[in-house]
Structure 1
Amino acid sequence: MSDILAAAVSFDAAPKERIRFGIVLLPNFTLTAFSGFVDMLRLSADEGDYSKPMRCSWRVIGETLAPVRASCGIQVAPWETFADAEPVDYLVVVGGLLHSGPHASDATLQYIRRAASGETTVVGICTGVFALMRAGVLDGHRICVSWFHYWDFIERFPNVNADAIVADRLFAIDRRRITCSGGRASIDVAAAILLRHFDHATVQKALRILLVGEMQKGNAPQPHPPGLEPATHPKVKRAVLLMEQQVGRNVPLEELACKLNLSPRQLERLFKAETGKSPRAFANVLRLRTAAWLLTSSDRTVADIASSCGFSDASHLGREFRKQFGVPPVVFRLQRSGQDAAQLAELDALLRNGLPGAPADVEGGVGCVALH
């Protein structure tokens, strides 16, 4: 069943029983994913502005009643333990940071397995999908993961069929397994679940209160890397993400191709077909875009920015920056800070010609000024 059809399953406008949600928070869970999902339940559960759990109820369940720390430091205490928890219609597992702190405990994985073995629909949000995989409850199902954690998922679960992994959509609904990329998409997946049981007006009201407007369908794309179209080949998207993650160094083409299970020649061809640029040229644009952002959002020196963005020195950055943006870094920074146009023109002329009167810390006459 497609995501759109799943969201349009016939509903009972006045359900005889509340829809029961159990929520498991993993260590270092993402607060946005948790709060977005819960607020959709809260705002859809009651008429008016009373937040009463009339149409649905929700409980935070944990191995113990000890508070669970979110990645931002806020702590949430479970309301009941796995041993005392009553059956739920949906078990929602919310994850967050992968590389900091403990993972889901064995008791948590056992609880997920017990719930999944019955009539409960299991939902993995953000890296909660990793816990569902460890619990062994996603076999034979489509699995949605965030593009940011795609390679982490591949490395930890190398035997998963690559065709089953969805890393370019917001969420995936596959029978009694629902997986979501996280973040703001937790609101959309909550809306899709609620539309299975409630009328559209009830769910739409909750979305409007959250200032979201229309929900995004599961097949809506995850935000793609800048400079790429949504239809770009997934291998190219992944390559660009790897470049962004290592913007401070020139990643060898062979290394990049190896991580994508391609030959260097295949990757070169694919890049040119999809972007019109070679991988090296595209990586250079990414580094320049990052440098431009740092110039306007920080007071770091041009030399420091050059080093952070993988350029050999400030002069190297200055030459490449002028080719891309038409002005040297110092002029670009001053333009964005609202500097007087006449002063900018005068400074640019000095920098272009290397005339006396240019700032003393210009390197090589190319406009790489170390401003603070």
Structure 2
Amino acid sequence: MCRDDRIEIGFLLFDGFPMACLTSVIEPLRAANEIAGQETFCWTLLSERGQKVRSSAEVGFDAMRGLLDHGEVDILFLLSSPTSRFENSSAGNAALRSLGRHGTILGGISGGVFPLVRSGTMQGQPVSVHWCYEAAFEAEFPDFDARSEVIVRTATRYTAAGAAAGFDLALHLIQDRLGAEIAHEVACWFQHPMMRGAGVRQQVPSATQPETGDSLPPLVARCVTLFGQDMSEPVSIADVAREIGVTPRQIERAFKRATGKSPSHYYRAMRMKAARQMVMYTADPIPEIAASVGYSSAAPLVTHYRAAFGLSPAEDRRRINRFRVEGNAPLPSV
């Protein structure tokens, strides 16, 4: 247990949580304690019932306590996959709400934002959502303020988009308590090039040219933004050209030069990526997923999905279910 003048951080682990998200926060805090010569930060591993938890890499972790036996923590981070839920949702969600009411800062890293939002503790709060979960998050929580920043911090809620963002968030906690000099030294220990802060957007594969990693040209980037605004209502290349004030032919040439694909094929790939997120991380039926990415029925989605990934959405969901660890409930295949 921490002494009163220390910051105690709880990590609430669910089966299937990404192990890197845990170590990326604990390790810089450990290093800060070492550099400062004092135990400023301490931490506790929690699970719902105090049971052993397996990470997505099948590494087991022994929880120190159960959520209902948590005592007091200053900050509680949820670490999970997007599909993770409490076994007893009423008790688990009530415990989180109680912690929030009594001054604990609540947070989620990567997929941990999903059970955090499900708990009812995030109303009116912005949320950092990893780009690979955006479509699944929007499908389940369409009214939430989901942001592409790597870190989103308010006075009472902290969310981060992945393991590297968790490291950045830990550096901010170190800077807040021990100052910028120690935060910088910790970053240098781990060869972490910079501490990213509020407003820094995630790097997303579709925003770069294949093979080079360079940013897409402005015309192509504007088209991609329009493509992604509302995939349930697909737009034509002609519509996009009119909106931007260019010809469809100009868009065609720009996409070919920048991506090696036609704009229509690039757009379809975006829709397939969004569909796959929902196949993997939501329980939505396949026809609903089809509608959410702009198909009037499931049949054309299945055709394009199979062309993109080599199997149908239902087959892909069954394949993913085989890798879900115990407690990370399988999703329906139809």
SS of 1:47 mapped into structure 2 = helix
1:259 aligns with 2:235: no
1:173 aligns with 2:145: no
Q: Measure how far apart 1:195 and its partner are.
A: 1.8
Q: TM-score, normalised by structure 2?
A: 0.65
Report Cα offsets for 1:46-95 as digits up to 9, x if no partner.
Answer: 337xxx87111100112223211111111111111123222111111112
Indicate whether 1:84 and 2:69 are aligned.
Answer: yes
Q: Does residue 70 of the first structure (1) align with residue 52 of the second (2)?
A: no
Distance in 2 separating the partners of 1:81 and 1:108: 10
Q: Which residue does 1:348 correspond to in 2?
A: none
The 1-side partners of 2:111 and 2:217 are apart by 23
Q: Distance in 1 between matches of 2:63 and 2:119?
A: 21
Task: Return closer, same or farther for 1:95/1:88 CA change in 2, 3 Å cut-off.
Answer: same
Change in CA separation of 1:21 and 1:230 when aligned onto 2, cut-off 3 Å: farther
Structure 2: runs of 5+ lacking an equivalent: 210-214, 256-260, 270-305, 310-334
Match of 1:33 in 2: 21
Equivalent position of 1:147 in the other structure: 131
SS in 2 for 1:103: coil
33-42 vs 194-203, greater mean Cα deviation: 194-203
Q: Does 1:215 align with 2:199?
A: no
Letter in 2 for 1:165: A
Alignment partner, residue 198 of structure 1:
178
Paired letter, 2:29: L
Structure number with larger C-alpha Rg: 1
Whether the 8 Å CA contact 1:23–1:59 is kept in 2: the answer is: yes
Tell me the residue number matched to 1:116.
100
**Distance in 2, Cα, partners of 1:17 & 1:26:** 29
Contact 1:23 1:60 (8 Å CA) reproduced: yes
Contact 1:21–1:58 (CA under 8 A) maintained in structure 2: yes
Question: Greater relative contact order (Cα 8 A, min sep 6): structure 1 or 2?
Answer: 2
Contact 2:33 2:40 in 1 (8 A): yes
Native 8 Å contact 1:24 1:60 kept in 2: yes
- 1:1-372 aligned at under 5 Å gives the runs 17-47=5-35, 54-96=39-81, 98=82, 102-105=84-87, 106=89, 107-160=91-144, 164-167=145-148, 169-224=149-204, 225=206, 226-227=208-209, 228-229=215-216, 236-237=224-225, 239=227, 259-261=231-233, 263-264=235-236, 265-267=238-240, 269=242, 277-278=251-252, 281-282=262-263, 284=265
Judging changes above 3 Å, is the alpha-carbon distance between structure 1 residues 286 and 238 closer, same or farther for their aligned structure 2 residues? closer
Q: Distance in 2 between matches of 1:142 and 1:195?
A: 23
Q: Within 1, Cα distance between the matches of 2:117 and 2:264?
A: 34
Q: Is the 8 A contact 1:33 1:125 kept in 2?
A: yes
Instruction: Please tell me whether the aligned partners of residues 53 and 61 of structure 2 are also in contact (alpha carbons under 8 angstroms).
Output: yes
Task: Quickly say closer, same or farther: Cα 1:154–1:86, change in 2 above 3 A.
Answer: same
CA contact (8 A) 1:191 1:215 kept: yes
Rate the CA distance shift 1:218–1:287 in 2: closer, same or farther, 3 A.
same
Partner of 2:287: none
Amino acid corresponding to residue 139 of structure 2 in structure 1: E
1:159 counterpart SS class: coil
Aligned equivalents of 1:84, 1:230: Cα separation in 2? 54
Secondary structure at the aligned position of 1:196 is classed as: helix
Give the deviation of 1:129 after TM superposition. 0.9
Q: Do the aligned partners of 2:47 and 2:66 also contact (CA within 8 Å) in 1? A: yes
Question: Which letter does structure 2 place at the counterpart of 1:95?
Answer: S
On the 8 A contact 1:27/1:104 being kept in 2, the answer is no
Distance 1:176 1:266 in 2: 43
- Kindly indicate which of the two structures has a greater share of residues assigned to helix: 2
Deviation of 1:193 (Å): 2.3
Q: Which secondary structure does the structure 1 equivalent of 2:158 belong to? A: strand
Structure 1 pair 222/238, CA: closer, same or farther in 2 (3 Å)?
Answer: farther
Rounded to whole Å, the distance in 1 between the matches of 2:217 and 2:96 is 35
Aligned to 1:324: none
Shift of 1:121: 0.9
Cα distance change on mapping 1:16 and 1:24 into 2, 3 Å: closer
Distance in structure 2 (CA, Å) of the matches to 1:17 and 1:39: 20
Distance 2:60 2:117 in 1: 25
Preserved contact between residue 42 and residue 53 of structure 1 (Cα < 8 Å): no
Aligned length, in residue pairs: 253
Deviation by residue 1:149-202 (Cα, 9 ceiling, x = unmatched): 111011111233xxx2212x2111122111111121110111112222111122
Return the TM-score normalized by structure 1: 0.59
Closer/same/farther in 2, CA of residues 134 and 46 from structure 1, 3 Å limit: same
Q: 2:16 touches 2:56 (CA, 8 Å); kept in 1?
A: yes
Quick check: 2:48–2:86 contact (8 Å CA) kept in 1? no
Q: 2 CA distance for matches of 1:56 and 1:40?
A: 10
